Amino acid sequence: MNLVYPWRDAPAARFAVIGDPVSHSLSPKMQNPVLRELGEPGEYVAIQVPEIEVSLALDHLAQLGFEGINVTVPNKSAARQWCERVSEFASAAEAVNTIALQRREGTNTDGPGFLETICQFPGRRATVLGAGGSARAIVLSLSAAGYEVRLWNRTEAKAHELAAVIPGVVVLIEPTVADADIVINATSASLTGAVLELDWSTADPEAVAYDLMYSSEPTAFLAAAGSRSKLDGRAMLVAQGALAMEFWLGRPVPREPMRRAVGL
């Protein structure tokens, strides 16, 4: 658990992650070692910000001199509204997860970070389970990278809404892991402990199971995937965090200190 500051009591620091809740975030544990590795001054802290107070909080943190902010759920949409400039990808994803605070510029490193973590795996068929904010960024990135994307969501209408704005995405009526090179769990099931009804015996033995969530133990989704190659949300956390730091610092950022910090 992080030391978490209410935004009105934020310390003098250089970078932060904001969310509600935010105590579970591994970002401070991951980002501070890379700042030290790079010889950069300043600290990275965790700050509690309720969704309805995002604009007030960002104004306050900017006045305190913060340079960069990462944004986690449920604040990514409100953060997008606060920014004066937003990258093309963040606009399409309808979410900002990284802000250069002093110039009020937002971007989204979730999708590009995700792609960075799967570049070593062959195959171009992806099945995405879930249709929320993280799923949107991932589906956009997969589609742009030339993957065949199939999408399932418990509320089918929401999956159709997402597929309608991303050409080529196919909506699944039932969740399945068949005919996929990589299966991505972007639902909240791993947060709540719910088990998705998936028949892994129908999956390709070489298929990759990827859960965007992370915990101290393998999630039920990853446990069910058996001996297949697996990734959890720490891989994406590192990649998107490194891209965020590069956005702020304007220089390459090594991944290895971040990977070690989160146990990869």
Q: What are the catalytic residues?
A: 76
Q: Cα separation of 68 and 79, whole Å?
A: 13
Nearest to 184, CA basis, from 196, 202, 168, 166: 196
Question: 85 pairs with which residues across the strands?
Answer: 105
- The pair phi, psi for residue 235, each rounded to 5°, is -60, -45
Question: Are the C-beta atoms of residues 152 and 176 closer than 8 Å to each other?
Answer: yes
Strand-strand pairing, 44-48 and 4-6: parallel
12 alpha carbon, distance to own chain's centre: 26
Tell me the C-alpha to C-alpha distance, in Å, between residue 156 and each of 27, 74, 139. Answer: 33, 22, 16
60 alpha carbon, distance to own chain's centre: 25
35 alpha carbon, distance to own chain's centre: 20
Question: Are the C-beta atoms of residues 90 and 112 closer than 8 Å to each other?
Answer: no
Nearest to 77, CA basis, from 59, 62, 90: 90
